[in-house]
Structure 1
Amino acid sequence: MSGLPAGRHFFRGDDGYEAARSATVWHARVPERYPEVIVQAVDADDIIAGLHYAKSNGHNVSIVSGGHSFAASHLRDGAVLLDVSRLNHATIDVEKSRAVVGPGKGGSLLMADLQEQGLFFPGGHCKGVCLGGYLLQGGYGWNSRIYGPACESVIGVDVVTADGEQIHCNEDNHADLYWAARGAGSGFFGVVTSYHLKLYPRPAVCGTSAYLYPFELADEVYTWARSIGAEVDPRVELQAVASRGEPTMGIESPVISFASPAFADSEEEAEKALAIFGSCPVADKALVKIPYMPTDLPTWYDIAMTHYLSDHYYAVDNMWTSASAADLLPGIRNILDTMPPHPAHFLWLNWGPVPRRQDMAYSVEDDIYLALYGSWKDPADEAKYADWAQSNMAAMSHLASGIQLADENLGRRPARFASDEAMARLDEVRAAYDPDGLFNSWMGRL
């Protein structure tokens, strides 16, 4: 007997195996990598059984919690894959502004629960993003320029270690593993069963502005966006999404969309924070110009999802940079010239100036975040579009300070995602908690 949970494990070749494998990838591009067995865990006992089986049979272990892992780094040949998406519990303590949530809890679902109780958390921008991988890799989400990456609001983690021990980690207990859990991403060497979160008061107002420009004005708008980085109110997410159409606005031509949420205590404050968008020197040439309108998170989730369609294939890549607009523009022009059809897109995000962060494995970020989301629906188009994100980011890599693990492409383009000091410490902590290398590490690293 395997000792694995009956009815919830699938060996390669079993009926139900391929359905279980494919279900761990949210989009259509499921890599040709095959775990030996998939364990659909519902509690810590299932996890421990999976770990014991792996150790007894010489397998490595990977974990998936569900979400938008474009690269599907959890799929490894010959591994035991622990699917913890069913650990989706959530307990909210309104008085203490705390929550205990499972890795399989959807971020948008948690946000809805919190909104009803007047609370807030910097959850991810897309529906379907579960908290497990999102929090491990850092977590850029709603209002993160105020609250920081979501991992800064993780005040404790419950972890099953490589030897099957269940421990609670925080700044006073197993502090080194707690440090690693906030930024190690898919290279974390344990199985998180619960996150303990710090919550915040729900902002009274969510407002937005919308300015849409044709690609022909790219030089002007990106130069302007780069120049105002230090001036943008931290309550504003200044993001520009370039795509070959914007269906939500009825536009089918190539367009750069500056549509940015602002969270504030009043409509007046939100409108004031968003006024900076009117300072773009070509604002009068915008195809759409909406200086301010009230909105809400459910609407924003719907807008975000128009760029992420589960029946499409995706290949992504990204970079952090502090380069000037003049240095970035040649690469940006090539990105726009070669962009696949919608919903493929190019994201520009004004993130900095970066404040001093807590001591955690998450340790690489910069003034500007650039991310490419190549997409196609017909599998025959893979040869045409699959390399778009990778090749463009590789061409601009001399301007990068690193990448973010959220939308990584490490298996095909290894890149720096943590500081040298953090990587050295991660190796030390891994050696202490997983000396035999039971857990798979990142698919690539420098």
Structure 2
Amino acid sequence: MALDVVAGAAVDDLRTTLSGDVLVPDDPPYDEARALFNGMIDRRPALIARCATPADVAEALRFGRRLGLRIAVRGGGHGVAGKALVDGGLVIDLRPMHDVTVDPGARTARVGGGATMGHLDRAAEPYDLATTGGRVSTTGVGGFLLGGGTGWLDRKFGLASDNLLSVDLVTADGERLTASEDEHPELFWALHGGGGNFGVATSFTLRLHPLPVVTVMLLLWGPERGPEVVRTYRDLMETAPDDVCGGVIYLTAPPEPFVPDGLVDRLACAVLVVYTGREAAAREAAAPLLGLRPEGRMVAEMSDADLESMLDDPPGYRNYWSAEHLDALPDEAVDRYCARADDMLVPSPTQHALFPQGGAAGRSTADHPLPWRHARWAVHPFCLWEDPADDERSRRWARAVREDVRPWASGAVYLNFIGEEGKDRVVAGLGEDNHRRLAEVKARYDPENVFRLNHNIEPATFGS
């Protein structure tokens, strides 16, 4: 449908119905409202419904379906594929719904569907409570949770979705329901990794855990020390307790006081150690790494909220991400991982990450569609750059990282780590049996595949 048709009397009617704002291309806030984290995405919706309540969401859905518009759902807008926007269609923007209410006695949080990890972390901070979040504060809670949710604390507290107690949802036909272990249990199962395929999640209830302090160590070496550092880190994590989290990240060394001048704006091999306790115990746990005499080091006790915002990615850069999950990390895999860092775009915010899995997340036997959780390592090329002339180079580098480690790959993949990589990768991210079961759930709650702008699961009856 043409933009001028949508922007007529029907939009005026929607504006009078919604308690939130409705934006069309001529409105001054429109361009800011359609900006995403990935600066490569430049899509122009016919209108953006900034929903302030679940009733707004239901009304916007009815409006979009009545006019035959394609519908996108926006939470944090952090997803690399940019599916939070749609050309010529309707965006249901949940960002006004960002309230977080913490019950310190029950150790739970009720989180609005448009909240970011920063909203959640800061709300829990005064009570010395936390749960597994992402690795930056700007990530939207909704997309993160519905994709499974791996982060700095998953070895200690499990995946984010392991801490999910209930989800309030608006389905494609406008029905408002709650999914939990006791209500709509099959839908609740699907929401542990199946993404935004089943409705618009307007709020979540999460389990929180006591966490008064974390100790964070950011240790840096020149890239020539990389193989030695990564091997030491690998061996450390083989027997590390659940309190030790973090990862290896090749990056451009920042101009910080703890970084020597000769390393600033150069490629560096960094280890981020996150320890869920005090500094003395953290230093003991990380002794093998400290023994390698890092060229730069930052060691500090802080809150989980400060940890989550410490490495926030700058918005507006061009983005391409991918991932492989590994069942083993032998010396050859380490060498390939380290060698590929030499081809990184430097200086830039690009990161070449290697995350340990295991701990509480890996031990879980929960029946969720998250087969990647049992891999031992995740390799995550996270490309950010400014110049469009570097588009192909950056994509090619990320794909080469995957190819390097493919001999040890499990085949499964965390879908929040990737963009558009085809249906086979979606199935791999969920598991074939799980994918079939998810298609049945999709057929029940979204038989017309209204929510298809995502890592899509077609309804079991779709096209038959």
TM-score (ref. length: structure 1) = 0.88
CA distance in 2, matches of 1:73, 1:311: 16
Per-residue deviation, 1:67: 4.4
Per-residue deviation, 1:334: 4.5
Residue 19 (str. 1) matches residue 31 (str. 2): yes
CA distance in 1, matches of 2:104, 2:275: 24
Q: Give the alignment of 1:45-444 within 5 angstroms.
A: 45-186=55-196, 188-201=197-210, 203-248=211-256, 249-250=258-259, 251-252=263-264, 253-264=266-277, 266-278=278-290, 283-284=292-293, 286-288=294-296, 293-297=300-304, 299-305=306-312, 308-329=313-334, 331-341=336-346, 342-352=348-358, 354-365=362-373, 366-401=375-410, 402-411=412-421, 415=425, 416-443=428-455
Per-residue deviation, 1:208: 2.9
CA distance in 2, matches of 1:140, 1:376: 24
Per-residue deviation, 1:387: 3.5
Partner of 1:5, secondary structure, is helix
CA distance in 1, matches of 2:423, 2:449: 23
CA distance in 2, matches of 1:123, 1:406: 13
Partner of 1:310, secondary structure, is coil
CA distance in 2, matches of 1:393, 1:21: 34
Partner of 1:417, secondary structure, is helix
Per-residue deviation, 1:216: 1.3
Question: Contact between 2:98 and 2:119, CA under 8 Å: does it hold in 1?
Answer: no
Question: Contact between 2:37 and 2:317, CA under 8 Å: does it hold in 1?
Answer: no
TM-score (ref. length: structure 2) = 0.85
**5+ long unaligned stretches in structure 1:** none
> Which segment drifts farther, 69-78 or 40-49?
69-78
Partner of 2:6: none
Deviations 1:32-76 (A, max 9, x none): x44443221111122112211222222332211014212212223
CA distance in 2, matches of 1:294, 1:268: 10
Partner of 2:41: 30
Deviations 1:8-45 (A, max 9, x none): 2345x54458515533x1242224x4444322111112
Partner of 1:227, secondary structure, is helix
Deviations 1:284-313 (A, max 9, x none): 4x32367x64344454345312xx112422
Partner of 1:95, secondary structure, is coil
CA distance in 2, matches of 1:200, 1:443: 30
CA distance in 1, matches of 2:140, 2:168: 16
Partner of 1:158, secondary structure, is strand
CA distance in 1, matches of 2:227, 2:60: 53
Deviations 1:85-115 (A, max 9, x none): 1111222212111221102122123212211
Aligned-pair Cα RMSD in Å = 2.6
Question: Contact between 1:236 and 1:273, CA under 8 Å: does it hold in 2?
Answer: yes
Q: What code does the residue aligned with 1:231 have?
A: T
Partner of 1:364, secondary structure, is helix
Q: What code does the residue aligned with 2:83 have?
A: S
Per-residue deviation, 1:242: 0.4
CA distance in 2, matches of 1:111, 1:245: 27
Q: What code does the residue aligned with 1:442 have?
A: N
CA distance in 2, matches of 1:327, 1:271: 29
Question: Contact between 1:20 and 1:38, CA under 8 Å: does it hold in 2?
Answer: no
Question: Contact between 2:213 and 2:304, CA under 8 Å: does it hold in 1?
Answer: no
| Matched pairs, number | 433
Per-residue deviation, 1:397: 3.8
Per-residue deviation, 1:330: 5.2
Give the 3 Å change call, closer, same or farther, for CA 243–414 of structure 1 in structure 2.
farther
Question: Contact between 1:236 and 1:262, CA under 8 Å: does it hold in 2?
Answer: yes
> Which segment drifts farther, 77-86 or 98-107?
77-86
**5+ long unaligned stretches in structure 2:** 1-8, 459-464
Deviations 1:226-285 (A, max 9, x none): 334331221111311102323333332321111211012x44433333335346xxx14x
Partner of 2:4: none
Question: Contact between 2:232 and 2:288, CA under 8 Å: does it hold in 1?
Answer: no
Partner of 2:230, secondary structure, is helix
> Which segment drifts farther, 421-430 or 113-122?
113-122
Give the 3 Å change call, closer, same or farther, for CA 149–276 of structure 1 in structure 2.
farther
